Homo-oligomer: A and B are copies of this chain.
Amino acid sequence: MTDAHIAFDDVSCVVDDVPILRSVTARLSARRTAVIGANGSGKSTFARMMNGLRQPTSGSVRVLGLDPAAEGMRVRSRVGFVFTNPEAQILLPTPAEDLALSLGSVPRAMRATRVEQILEQYGLAGRGDQPVSELSGGQRQLLALAAVLCTDPQLVVADEPTTLLDLRNARRIADLLLGLAVPTVIVTHDLDLAARCDEAVLFDDGRLVAIGAPPGVIEMYRRLSA
């Protein structure tokens, strides 16, 4: 059990007197973990705790052996987080600038070359200086993903990264995420995507109610939602 990259121990989270996570205990050690469950069941809260975007009211969270609450910066430099809405994730006016922002640790002189490489790699070649508002939805999500992955995170957490995308774009992003060498946690309503992971976690009303091989967990979710 020591090789779990994520360990939640009796974690609860209460906001304005409403419990949104209730005594969650989980050890994630699979390379690819899917998190599924109903709207408002606590999936995003669970995911956000993995890089200190939210803190538990009680219980302990360890990510890559670190405590996100106490060592926020160190955890965040190791954990890449991808949100649903690419619009909110792209921080600077053009793709090139946004990627350069992620490459803060790369020497200035090499940054431009590196940016070009990344744009190329994510199918965005030639779009580096175009205003982000002119990119399509799929291109924006690719850019958001690129900006996260180019920092070489040791763990990737994605909260419904394919929700707004069409078949082709959704598949492209899913393939990218599922093909990563580092541990990856994907929150999703897309059960086909969940089925492609190595392990699945099911939330219901703030509780972790199942963890295991995806087929069984998905089946249980279907029954819960019936």
Interface positions of A (Cβ within 8 A of B): 37-41, 84, 136-138, 163-171, 189, 191, 221-222, 225
Contact = CB atoms under 8 A, between A and B. Distances in A.
A162 to B, nearest CB: 9
Nearest to A137: B39
A163 B166 contact: no
Contacts of A163: 163-164
A38 B225 contact: no
10 contacts: A38-B167, A39-B136, A39-B138, A39-B165, A39-B166, A39-B169, A84-B164, A163-B164, A167-B191, A167-B225
Given A163-B163, A163-B164, A164-B163, A136 B169 contact: no
B189 A166 contact: yes
Nearest to A222: B167
Contacts of A169: 38-39
Nearest to A41: B166
Given A41-B166, A170-B189, A171-B225, 9 more contacts: A38-B168, A39-B166, A39-B169, A40-B137, A40-B138, A166-B189, A166-B225, A167-B222, A167-B225
A138 B221 CA distance: 17
A189 B168 CA distance: 11
Contact of A189 (B39, B41, B165, B221): B165
A174 to B, nearest CB: 13
A210 to B, nearest CB: 15
A38 B164 CA distance: 11
A221 B164 CA distance: 17
Contact of A225 (B40, B41, B168, B221): B168
The 3 closest A-B pairs by CB, nearest first: A40-B136, A167-B225, A168-B225
